[in-house]
A and B are shown apart, each in its own frame.
Chain A
């Protein structure tokens, strides 16, 4: 049964996804054009790199939360989980003095473990995802503060750690475009997540769970296991985000993170992923994250007052989702 429904599902998604991608993408292009015309300082290599750098962490978090949202769930814990993973890397590298790869692996494992817990609470204990991950958000925030003693953990004893996000392998090959490694990692995560969603059983069930969980369950599939799997993968991706932010700041800042989940969710929604599940693309989310950073950066370059920046960003989010509603009505 799943064999017959899944391909139909996929082709439908491919079509609507492509259409919306076009819409979000033209929005991004329009923003870039407007800002380029408004200020000669916008379209400069250094500024474009700054925008990409600002997108890296939010982009990774948004991709993580995209997976969960496609299943019809939500994850409010991505912001503080990112911080928790950064703190775990700090404990491994700075407190214990272990080599750098172990810190990176530890952070990703911590994210995976947290995802397993969230997924289990949602799937097995039947706690609604909103509440389960709200709880996890607070638990992780508290644990980060406890473990770090509320002080930042610096990575000064791990030379090269800040190169994970700030260094540029691309720049060593093509000096004219020193794209930071953090951005390349974001692209790598996006490719990986797209592959999982498009080419694997986990991806197929991610969409199926969001479309009609009951139908999947009735067809004899172990729904809980797949759902926990999605949350775990999402957590692992957040772990990558934790490494990125720790590397960029060369420190794990334990009080950071709350509020970042909303920005990630905003990127997902702007990118055309439906909050009711069953529909969404990683590319759309990536574009959504870029729209948010371009908007923030461009408004700053134009010296728009901070109060108004927030108003404009909010307006764009609503308009983006409204455009999505109109599109669905027209279909």
Chain B
């Protein structure tokens, strides 16, 4: 009998925990956000933005995501549970668009508006996508690069891949801006290292050895730019390196001057605008197809500014 009582004790503990969750008022929208991750600094920043918006707009927001960005099935379980809860709206960052299609269809059938965030969902079900305008962000990287190398010379790009949306957008954004605005700058090479540090290092070294007069390299994501920085150090080169995103290693390289500066996305803004878009959708307002959540250029000088520091992660 003691055993059963022990277990019942556990159950009532759960019940108490359940009872302590706030009871929602009728006019208080319940919005479920399902993200691609949870404990990563980037996603925690997205969550912070969502919580802020919830406080500002007077709605309730839950934020969940799988432990790693590979656990597609766990994300499906989370989405299914969120649907059962019958929230007023859902925010969703798909790990795999295809796997999510049946559940998103369920949401649509149930009349629950879906807002995509971070990376888009390959589907017409989401009403809008709150994401970084990677093309414009990479164009800003091109402007900074041009300024730092004096508006002329050879540059190169080391990117993560040519298949993902971010890979395509960042390479195009950078190279189109150079072609349009800086006729004296030539992009001599665009190479892909899969976002792998070591591979990007080798690529960087081969680019540098092939082009001794190279002025700068743009690394299009965290792994790529770390590889570029390593390659630059190994060959003792003094080229200008512009990076993307943050992370402890990249921030250290920026502080030591190996990387001149980097573009950061605005994860806080992604979270905030996702919740805002959900509320707008519930009020029946029109939404644009894409909501640009903003981005910044940062370097050793402005890294500790509150506005910048808030969007950087380790």
Q: Which residues of B contact A298 (CB under 8 A)?
A: 18
Among B8, B13, B65, B85, the residue within 8 A (CB) of A301 is B85
A181 within 8 Å of B (CB atoms): no
B96 & A323 in contact (Cβ 8 Å cutoff): no
State the CA gap A54–B66 with chains docked (Å).
14
B98 & A259 in contact (Cβ 8 Å cutoff): no
Mask: chain A, 304-331; 1 = CB below 8 Å from B; 0 = not: 1110100010011001101100110010
Among B3, B9, B21, B194, the residue within 8 A (CB) of A304 is B21
A34 within 8 Å of B (CB atoms): yes
Q: Which stretch of A44-52, A92-100, A205-213, A224-232 is in the interface?
A: A44-52
B60 & A303 in contact (Cβ 8 Å cutoff): yes
A297 & B77 in contact (Cβ 8 Å cutoff): yes
Within the complex, the shortest CB–CB distance from A260 to chain B, in Å, comes to: 9
Q: Which residues of B contact A322 (CB under 8 A)?
A: 6
State the CA gap A173–B146 with chains docked (Å).
68
Q: Which stretch of A3-11, A126-134, A188-196, A244-252 is in the interface?
A: A244-252
A320 & B7 in contact (Cβ 8 Å cutoff): yes
B297 within 8 Å of A (CB atoms): no
Among A26, A296, A330, the residue within 8 A (CB) of B77 is A296
A38 & B78 in contact (Cβ 8 Å cutoff): no
A77 within 8 Å of B (CB atoms): no
Task: Tell me what chain B mostly uses at the interface: helix, strand, loop, or mixed.
Answer: helix
A14 within 8 Å of B (CB atoms): no
Q: Which stretch of B67-75, B137-145, B176-184, B270-278 is in the interface?
A: B67-75
State the CA gap A150–B109 with chains docked (Å).
35
State the CA gap A90–B273 with chains docked (Å).
38
Given the interface contacts A53-B80, A303-B60, A304-B18, does A249 sit within 8 Å of B72 by beta carbon? yes
A42 & B84 in contact (Cβ 8 Å cutoff): yes
Within the complex, the shortest CB–CB distance from B162 to chain A, in Å, comes to: 13
Given the interface contacts A41-B84, A306-B63, does A300 sit within 8 Å of B78 by beta carbon? yes
State the CA gap A330–B68 with chains docked (Å).
42
State the CA gap A305–B50 with chains docked (Å).
14
B70 & A297 in contact (Cβ 8 Å cutoff): no
A50 & B60 in contact (Cβ 8 Å cutoff): no
Complex interface residues of chain A between 15 and 65 (CB less than 8 A to chain B)? 23, 26-27, 30-31, 34-35, 38-39, 41-42, 44, 46-47, 50, 53-54, 57
Given the interface contacts A38-B18, A300-B64, A308-B17, does A249 sit within 8 Å of B102 by beta carbon? no
B85 & A249 in contact (Cβ 8 Å cutoff): no
Q: Which residues of A contact B17 (CB under 8 A)?
A: 304, 308, 312
Q: Which residues of B contact A250 (CB under 8 A)?
A: 98-99
State the CA gap A250–B60 with chains docked (Å).
33
Mask: chain A, 160-175; 1 = CB below 8 Å from B; 0 = not: 0000001000000000
Within the complex, the shortest CB–CB distance from B99 to chain A, in Å, comes to: 4
Most buried by A among B14, B30, B64: B14
Among B7, B21, B71, the residue within 8 A (CB) of A30 is B7
Residue of A nearest to B77 (CB): A54
State the CA gap A95–B312 with chains docked (Å).
41
Q: Which residues of B contact A326 (CB under 8 A)?
A: 2-3, 6
A255 & B70 in contact (Cβ 8 Å cutoff): yes
B21 & A303 in contact (Cβ 8 Å cutoff): yes
A154 within 8 Å of B (CB atoms): yes
In the complex, besides A44-B84, A256-B73, A303-B21, 16 extra interface pairs with C-beta distance below 8 angstroms are A23-B4, A31-B14, A34-B18, A35-B18, A41-B84, A42-B84, A46-B83, A249-B98, A298-B18, A301-B84, A302-B21, A303-B62, A306-B63, A312-B17, A316-B14, A326-B2
Residues of A within 8 A of B (CB): 23, 26-27, 30-31, 34-35, 38-39, 41-42, 44, 46-47, 50, 53-54, 57, 150, 152, 154, 166, 245, 248-251, 253-256, 259, 293, 295-306, 308, 312, 315-316, 319-320, 322-323, 326-327, 330
